[in-house]
Chain A
């Protein structure tokens, strides 16, 4: 594994000059950044700027073609063992929830612990039930995802990711597919998670959430990080024209 001298010691994610192309289309144009343990970063930016693609490269749902990504000391490469190791460390929550419709909510959560972490069924169920308690839907354990609301589904999805006891949680627009009245319940769960000290990378347009919870806001535009600042600086003193425009547009809504 390569040494990264310029990265601070407690960085859990280190990206150096990460590039990604879809065929000829250059989506990520040299992302260099790092995230510390327990850091809560919000990623925002216009549609198509590569936010999703970036966080999806962090657990190899997308492959980067140049540069290095090191997660908790393990470099992401073609090595399948490394990929599987990293996927156990990194939980992901999707915009469309992506729950498994043929399994109950409880089974959705226990599948990973049983099959990947090799827990016994009863151990896994105990953990799953306590996680459902934590996201406030213990009474929905034995229902199927299709039988609960969108906000509840997203909370099951968060519990499913947490059941693997990840060190990092990635969120890709977790509230964008939700009806307005359900957004709060999901954001509440995420706030609680942030207080517990989880390392979180959140792609979102919820600027209120960003201002309140984030240690740091990264602004993406055309595949590059344009602005990277603490929330106070980001909102009150943005450096770049694109950021200013974006903030004025989003705050109008």
Chain B
């Protein structure tokens, strides 16, 4: 026998949850009135006064900054590389990865119907086609899993090389900008600071005092300083300490962001490590696993899974914090926004431009947050 169904209509739901007592009725009415006026003002402004022309006119600037137009194929090549891997992964893993791939492809598909130039829409459609093709190529080939994981790792240096090119014929990193730069800073920061943070957390729990002290000192020092200070220091100190090396500004900022985030990541991971009972370590040792195996197969899978929300929170913080590089002079998404409103042609359009930038930051941050909930459900966190 099935349990009785509990589905209620929206009217019933509102009656039960919003209008069940006299003070709830009062609060609900107040909230509705406030929401009504806020939305009315916002929507009236958005549809009558706002001059949205500034966004499409500067769309390329928002997307890639001053990346030269004749080299834009490099960006598309990078997107296509990603499409290949996303498609293959979706075919091989299915499930959550497949849903992500569908959303990823959906963005390009919708883009193809927006009023962009003819060639741009072609690029968009190409992306959709590549995702679909590599999906069918990878479908069911579970034997390829290790290769695809390795491929993802290798794709990072490959993407950097494609974006940069070589020497004068390439695109110098000072021309990387807009959302492209924001995403590079964030994704590389996340991918590098995560393992670094796990490593630091393990060091902080080490039996060897020297290792423990060094890692504790590092973590506490970094956490005691604002990111903007570290960005300034990275900008100025790295060239002083390594005069021989020509480390460009993007890389300096990337290093600063990564090392900053790793310290926070380490503390999040440490929280997870401390939640693992001693008995788990002992049982692992008792069947003969060594330290690395114990961490890899027993402790970290449990510890990380219990702190997914904190870790993703740190990813989101890192993503938003990349906007601080605009202060150092890089033209990331926020930097583009600032330079657009400084332009005489678009004078007085701060609200439109900043709102647009905010929406983009929100879409990415919320996607990460949503993704983390999905991953938690998929892993059955809290169930076993």
Residues of A within 8 A of B (CB): 59-61, 80, 84, 87-88, 90-92, 94, 96, 98-102, 111-112, 115-116, 144-147, 157, 160-161, 164
Whether a CB of chain A sits under 8 angstroms from the CB of B280 is: yes
30 A/B residue pairs, CB under 8 Å, sorted by A: A59-B285, A61-B282, A84-B288, A92-B283, A92-B286, A94-B279, A94-B283, A94-B286, A96-B279, A98-B277, A98-B279, A98-B283, A100-B284, A100-B298, A101-B302, A102-B301, A102-B302, A102-B305, A111-B289, A111-B297, A112-B287, A112-B289, A115-B289, A115-B297, A116-B287, A116-B289, A145-B384, A146-B384, A164-B287, A164-B288
A160 to B290, CA, bound (A): 17
Q: Are B282 and A94 in contact (CB under 8 A)?
A: yes
A134 to B305, CA, bound (A): 33
Q: Are A98 and B282 in contact (CB under 8 A)?
A: yes
A141 to B384, CA, bound (A): 15
A249 to B293, CA, bound (A): 45
Whether a CB of chain A sits under 8 angstroms from the CB of B383 is: yes
Q: Which residues of the other chain, B, contact A80 by a CB distance below 8 angstroms?
A: 290
Closest 7 CB pairs of A and B: A112-B287, A98-B283, A144-B384, A98-B279, A116-B288, A92-B286, A87-B288
Q: Which residues of the other chain, A, contact B289 by a CB distance below 8 angstroms?
A: 111-112, 115-116
Q: In the complex, which residues 277-316 of chain B have their Cβ closer than 8 Å to any Cβ of chain A?
A: 277, 279-280, 282-290, 293, 297-298, 301-302, 305
Residue of A nearest to B302 (CB): A102
A101 to B277, CA, bound (A): 11
Residues of B within 8 A of A (CB): 277, 279-280, 282-290, 293, 297-298, 301-302, 305, 383-384
Q: Are A100 and B288 in contact (CB under 8 A)?
A: no
Q: Which residues of the other chain, B, contact A100 by a CB distance below 8 angstroms?
A: 280, 283-284, 298, 302
A103 to B: closest C-beta gap in Å: 8
What number of A-B contacts does a CB cutoff of 8 Å give? Answer: 66
A102 to B272, CA, bound (A): 14
B298 to A: closest C-beta gap in Å: 6
Residue of B nearest to A84 (CB): B288
Given known A-B contacts A115-B293, A146-B383, A88 and B286 have beta carbons under 8 A apart: no
Q: Which residues of the other chain, B, contact A112 by a CB distance below 8 angstroms?
A: 287-289
Q: A98-B282, A111-B297 are in contact. List 8 more A-B contacts (CB 8 A).
A: A60-B285, A61-B285, A87-B287, A100-B298, A111-B287, A116-B293, A145-B384, A161-B286
Q: Are A84 and B290 in contact (CB under 8 A)?
A: yes
For chain B, what secondary structure do more than half of its interface residues adopt (helix, strand, loop), or is it mixed?
A: helix
Which of A60, A99, A147 makes the CB contact (< 8 A) with B283? A99
Q: Which residues of the other chain, A, contact B384 by a CB distance below 8 angstroms?
A: 101-102, 144-147
A60 to B282, CA, bound (A): 10
Which of B285, B286, B302 makes the CB contact (< 8 A) with A91? B286
A19 to B298, CA, bound (A): 31
Q: Which residues of the other chain, B, contact A145 by a CB distance below 8 angstroms?
A: 384
A115 to B284, CA, bound (A): 11
A115 to B285, CA, bound (A): 12
The winner among B283, B289, B290, B384 for most chain A CB atoms within 10 A is B283
Q: Which residues of the other chain, B, contact A60 by a CB distance below 8 angstroms?
A: 285
A136 to B: closest C-beta gap in Å: 21
Q: Are A87 and B302 in contact (CB under 8 A)?
A: no
The winner among A88, A99, A115, A160 for most chain B CB atoms within 10 A is A115
Given known A-B contacts A100-B298, A111-B297, A161 and B287 have beta carbons under 8 A apart: yes
Q: Which residues of the other chain, B, contact A96 by a CB distance below 8 angstroms?
A: 279
A102 to B298, CA, bound (A): 8
A61 to B285, CA, bound (A): 8
A116 to B138, CA, bound (A): 33
Q: Which residues of the other chain, A, contact B290 by a CB distance below 8 angstroms?
A: 80, 84
Q: Which residues of the other chain, A, contact B283 by a CB distance below 8 angstroms?
A: 92, 94, 98-100, 157
A86 to B: closest C-beta gap in Å: 9
A164 to B293, CA, bound (A): 16
B92 to A: closest C-beta gap in Å: 19
Q: Are B286 and A59 in contact (CB under 8 A)?
A: yes
Q: Which residues of the other chain, A, contact B285 by a CB distance below 8 angstroms?
A: 59-61, 87
Q: Which residues of the other chain, A, contact B280 by a CB distance below 8 angstroms?
A: 98, 100
Residue of B nearest to A147 (CB): B384
Q: Are A61 and B286 in contact (CB under 8 A)?
A: yes
A98 to B299, CA, bound (A): 13
B139 to A: closest C-beta gap in Å: 23
Q: Which residues of the other chain, B, contact A157 by a CB distance below 8 angstroms?
A: 283
A96 to B305, CA, bound (A): 22
Q: Which residues of the other chain, A, contact B305 by a CB distance below 8 angstroms?
A: 102
Q: Which residues of the other chain, B, contact A115 by a CB distance below 8 angstroms?
A: 289, 293, 297
Q: Which residues of the other chain, A, contact B293 by a CB distance below 8 angstroms?
A: 115-116
Q: Which residues of the other chain, A, contact B298 by a CB distance below 8 angstroms?
A: 100
A96 to B293, CA, bound (A): 22
Q: Are B301 and A160 in contact (CB under 8 A)?
A: no
A111 to B383, CA, bound (A): 21
A100 to B279, CA, bound (A): 10
A164 to B297, CA, bound (A): 17
Residue of B nearest to A95 (CB): B279
B294 to A: closest C-beta gap in Å: 10
A60 to B286, CA, bound (A): 9
